[in-house]
Structures are given as structure tokens and as C-alpha cells.
Amino acid sequence: MSHYWSPFVHSLTPYVPGEQPKFANLVKLNTNENPYPPSPRAIAAMRREIGDDGASLRLYPDPNADCLRQAVVECFAEFALSAAHVFVAGNGSDEVLAHVFMALLRHGQPILLPDISYSFYPVYCGLYGIDSVRIPLDERFAIRVDDYARSNGGIVIANPNAPTGHPLPLGDVERLAAANLQSVVVIDEAYVDFGGTTAIGLIHRFPNLLVTRTLSKSHALAGLRIGYAIGDPALIEALDRVKNSFNSFPLDRVAIAGAAAALSDREYLEKTRRAVMRSRAALTGHLERLGFDVLPSAANFIFVRHPRRDAADLAAQLRQRGIIVRHFKQPRIDQHLRITIGTDAQCDLLVAALKEILE
């Protein structure tokens, strides 16, 4: 029945998300979900929004999500933002990025992407008819900013990068923005709270810089699907124009309330992100003692390989023991595994299983 399809659909290569298994008693370390629950303040706010009778749900939400935009402004008060610097949308930062590709990156020139990065970026290029050039990471999977000194229609970089976890220093982000004033530089900070440095402080100096973020990872709200972007008001206006031409109500009332409350709970964020970072350091040490090569990570996952064991086989044997990690078949990284940082108990189970497999 594909003869009913629009012609361009045949050429699309959709994004493949991490597996969401339906069976219980699983150590799930494949999709970078936070091992800790959301802020109690966020849970309370969502319950208040629903109320005893749920009457508020009969009403449409605020299309501008003004209280959430203000929560972002207050969360980053040190950067002197206004609501005009903030764009919010549903479906995590994925939907934000979709609007970015449509609103800011369709200029007839190829955009520049790292050759190993979030695999949704080339999917959006295919969806919106945007050419791209893949810039190779170095031999240790780091981004070389000087390689991006070429004509382009935009640059999109995840920082820390995914799936490698490698952070780009703030000085390099600054050099990238300064060297590409003719185009938009998008810094995807989905994982920045786990050890990276945000580029939000640069947006007042660089009107071409856009920072995208999500509440799925560090705020443990992957189930709500909330993302936002911070940049010059002219960039935000373009995103709003596209959003309001697609869906004026991308965030529901409950999500807006929960997200605003989560952003306000800085103490809880600090506690949980530091717990993840401690577990990451401990797991890295355990795996290195087992002979794994572990890339330095500033994310809530690590990227590892064992020089004497096939990565796909390791992933399969872990799965037999009820532990799921992410294996990519992409060239250059097909011998690596991306392992989400779980609770200490989950990490201990992973280490014990790997010891058994390797022995």
C-alpha cells in the first residue's frame, strides 16, 4: 500500500530509538534515563494541577507556556535572560531540534555535523531536505573545532557529545560561534548537567548561538517529554513561528506545571546529578580494572570497548543475564557499548555479569 505515500517518504531513514522492553526485572542501561525519580516538588505541582476532580484538564494549556519560560529565566538568573530568550516545546529537545532544523538551518548550504553524534540529526536533514557534511572526530572521538572553519548553512553539535560522552570546552564553543557568525551554531546540551559547561552565558555576545536542553535526563522527566532552547530573541521568534504553524499547544497543563517546579528545585538537581557522577566514576574504575577502555565522560553514560571481546557478543551475553546496554553498528564505533549510569546496585549487577562473561 506504499503507493499512497508521498514520494519523499520512500527516501527517509527514520531514527531508531533505544529499546523499551516490556518484561520486568530488567537492569535497563540502554536509553540514558535518570536512575532517580523526579523532584518531589515537581510531583506535587503536577498533582495540584490535576486536582481532585481533574477539571483543569478540560481546558487547553497556555500556548506560550509563559510560567515555564519564566521558570527557565529564574533557573539561569546569573545569565540575565528574559522570556524572549526562551523557547519551549513538547517531546523533549527532539521536537525543539526539529523546529530548529526547519526554522534556522534551511539555507541551501550543507550544515556541519560530527560524524559520530546523535543519530537524529541526519534524520532531520532527510526529513527537511537539508544537505549535511559529516566532520570526523579525532582518534579519541573528540571534536576538533578548527575542522569546522568552512562555509556552511549551520552547525549542530551535542555537548557533551552522544554517544561518546566527550565534553567540548566552553572556549571551543566560543571559538566555534565566533568563527561562524554567518550561520546558526546549535549546541545540544541534553547531558550538560552531568559534568559539562553550559554555553548559555555566550548568547548575549553571539546572536547566532542557540542552546537546546531537555528535562528528560538530569531532571528525570523523560516520561513528560519537555525541551527548551535559549538564544537571541530573533532566533526564538523564528522557532515560535514554526511551532505555531505546526502545533500551538505542544505542552500540556500537567507537563508545564511539573517542568516549572522541577527547574525551581536546584537543590534536588544538585543532589541527584552528583550521585550519578559519583556512580559514573566508580563504574569507570571497575570497568577499567576489567580491561575495558573507557572514554572520559561528562554525561550520564559511558562509552566503552574491550580490546579482546566483540561488543555485539558482550551486549548479547549481558541481555541473557537481564541487563540491556546500547550497541551501535555504525562504522568506527561498532566495537563500543554505551552504558547508562544506573543506581549503584544496578552498576554492581553489571560489573558482576561482565566479570562472569570475561572469565
Q: For residue 2, what pLDDT band results from cuts at 50, 70 and 90?
A: confident
Q: Which numeric CATH code is attached to 18-38+267-358?
A: 3.90.1150.10
Phi, psi values for residue 212, rounded to 5°:
-110, 145
Report residue 1's pLDDT band, with 50, 70 and 90 as the boundaries.
low
pTM of the model: 0.95
Per-residue pLDDT reduced to its tens digit, 125-158: 999 999 999 999 999 999 999 999 999 999 999 9
Q: Phi, psi at residue 346, to the nearest 5°? A: -65, -40
SS3 content of the chain, % helix, strand, coil (to 5): 45, 15, 40
In Å, how far are 43, 173, 183, 282, 317 from 353, measured between CA atoms? 35, 39, 48, 16, 9
Helix (H) or strand (E) holding 57: none
For 44, 47, 215, the CA distances from 336, given in Å and listed in that order, are: 40, 42, 27
Side chain identity, residue 343? T
Topology annotation, domain 40-264 = Aspartate Aminotransferase; domain 2 (3.40.640)
Q: What percent of the chain has pLDDT over 70?
A: 99
Q: pLDDT at position 3, please?
A: 78
DSSP helix/strand/coil, 114: strand
Residue spans of the domains in the chain: they are: 18-38+267-358, 40-264
pLDDT tens column, 219-278: 999 999 999 999 999 999 999 999 999 998 999 999 999 999 999 999 999 999 999 999
Task: Measure the CA–CA gap between 338 and 32, rounded to whole angstroms.
Answer: 9
Place of cell 527548551: 228
Give the confidence band of 8 by pLDDT, cuts at 50, 70, 90.
confident
The amino acid that residue 179 corresponds to is A
Cβ–Cβ < 8 Å for 176, 148: yes
CB 256 within 8 A of CB 68: yes
Concatenated DSSP letters of 263-312: HH-HHHHHHHHHHHHHHHHHHHHHHHHTT-EE---SSSEEEEE-TTS-HH
For residue 168, what is the DSSP state? P
- CA separation for the pair 118, 15 (Å, rounded): 10
pLDDT in tens, 271-314: 999 999 999 999 999 999 999 999 999 999 999 999 999 999 99
